Chains A and B, each alone.
Chain A
Amino acid sequence: MTATHSGACKSNSRKARQGVQSAFSRWVNALVFLLLAIGPDLTGSFGAFNGTGGLEAVISPTGTIGAINDRFGNLVASVSANQTLAWSRSKLGSYGVLPNSESPTLEQGASLIEASAWRTRRTDPTGFINMGARHYEPTTGRFLSADPLGHSSSWNLYDFANGDAVNGFDADGRIATGVGNGVVLGDYYQPATGAQMLGQVLGQVALGFTPAGIAGDVRDATAALGEVSNNGLGWRTGAGVAMAGVAFIPGAGDAVKGVVKGIVNAFPTATVIRTLPTPAPKLPDVETKWVDLNVPDAKTENGLMVHPFSGGGTHITTSVSLATHTESATFGAADGLFLAPTRQIDGLLASGASRSQIEITLGLNQGSLAQGTLMRIDISNPFARTLSLPTSGNIFFRPGLGMTWGGLNEGIITSPFKNDPGVILQPIQGL
């Protein structure tokens, strides 16, 4: 028997439904109708446009099980049809289930609510959490793959909620936002065709929710439409109405919502269990297919995108700057040495740029390279020195792009020793 369900949320609906559909087929196939009402939105209100995609209730002909969310969408308890409150076995922290707790999976026989305890994201048998766009590794608190939206979404690509899981939220692994700050951009459910829209409405009708029922929660529908309008997401009005209607099912949502609102206030924040470091992401090696938007210098060779640092990296400095640190064993400070790709530096020098123009291109203060002999430090293999993107804004770095203000790619490596054979210091002639 095939289970039928209808998701009701504005974000992650499709993924939530896709994620649970197979599980339902396997685990809940005795149900004829089953509906997931998806929980609180990022404004903290319920019955609106459920931005976080938190599970609100599991509804079937055999009864309704309400899910109690905290403000992060964590499922802290469930309320069965006979009003029995069952607390989740999982103890939840900001980055996942706490170490002394457990994260049961559907495959282990857990209920959907139990298996989706942390932020309503189901734990795979592997232990990873499928957030939608990416898999999340709760032990380290980081994603397994880079943010598909690139640095415009996450500075280091792998962190969760921009490294602030206490105040932040990341609905599907693509754009982090502060909890309570409104809807996140994500994979909003958007029927592609009129037939799909109609199917939604018909599905609701089949489940017993008549158009009157949909219209019955005018506040919710209005809120939904308001959000559509305010966020400019290009939603179709009809879809908004339909989903608003689905989300607020008489007897399920409304009954649970009152409980939920009280519970939400009782669980205002998650527990801070650790402070995770946010190291800069290591840039991929030369062989890696490099398709990042931040590499204007990349070119195709043998079908692979060639990394701009594949020809080595170069740091520009002056003899005077180096002379003030003669006693130092390394080039560069403890936090590393900034590099631009050697071939970009070569091109810059070949263009006949003056010292002032080099300063501007590298994003240095005017006069930084004015005194002494201009020097270059060439690093033949920066990848062996943990070539990474700079993690924070500074005078060299244009945040979010991995480039200097002058448009050169920029990376940072661990400071090389002066006597390292892979490091060549030489004067720049003619400047």
Chain B
Amino acid sequence: MNAHFQRLFSQGKAVDVLCGIGDYFTPGVTYREEHDFVLAVGELLDWARTGHYESAALAFDSAVMTLLDLGRFENALRLIRSYLILRKEMQTSLPLDEDRLVSGCCIAIRDAAEQLSSNEELRNLLLLVIQDFPQLKARIGFP
């Protein structure tokens, strides 16, 4: 575990750490221009295991909503995808309010329709997310 991240989580900075905005930006190992969502979510799940499941779930939910509110649709998808991958990898799930998450994503997808139609990589990213997120897939009506 990364003591720095764990300390920030305990200090109530989990949303900032997950979003990676400003001072909390941590460049990814391979994709340096992006926040290291894998590291942040991995540390969040480690923190959850120490008895902070509810807080971690709340922070994750808030982080997704924050990114969506800021118009960072792609980052929100990467955050969700990181969680979906690590959930399997680490065998740890968060008690998320999935209805709220799905609703937020649906609104964001509608708002980002133009972006999605013109950006194949973003479209593929969304497809990858919904593969592991059947609730969202059902809601947005993908076949």
Contact = CB atoms under 8 A, between A and B. Distances in A.
Do the two chains bind? yes
Interface of A: 315-318, 320-329, 331-335, 337-338, 364-372, 377, 394-396
Interface string B30-49: 11111011110011000000
Given A320-B82, A325-B31, A328-B31, 6 more contacts: A320-B42, A322-B30, A335-B32, A367-B5, A370-B42, A372-B89
A53 B81 CA distance: 61
User: Nearest 7 CB-CB pairs, A to B?
Assistant: A327-B124, A333-B33, A367-B2, A317-B30, A366-B2, A333-B31, A327-B125
A423 B104 CA distance: 39
Interface residues of B, number: 32
A331 B28 CA distance: 12
Contacts of A315: 30
A365 B40 CA distance: 11
A58 to B, nearest CB: 54
13 contacts: A316-B29, A318-B29, A320-B38, A320-B85, A323-B85, A324-B81, A327-B127, A331-B30, A333-B30, A333-B31, A335-B32, A365-B2, A365-B39
Contacts of A334: 33
Given A367-B1, A367-B43, A370-B42, A324 B37 contact: yes
A371 B2 contact: no
A329 B119 CA distance: 13
A318 B128 contact: no
Given A364-B29, A366-B2, A368-B29, A333 B34 contact: yes
Interface in B71-85: 78, 81-82, 85
A396 B82 CA distance: 22
B76 to A, nearest CB: 13
B3 A318 contact: no
B22 to A, nearest CB: 16
Given A320-B85, A321-B28, A371-B89, A328 B39 contact: no
Nearest to B79: A324
B34 A327 contact: no
B90 interface: yes
A410 to B, nearest CB: 13
A317 B124 CA distance: 22
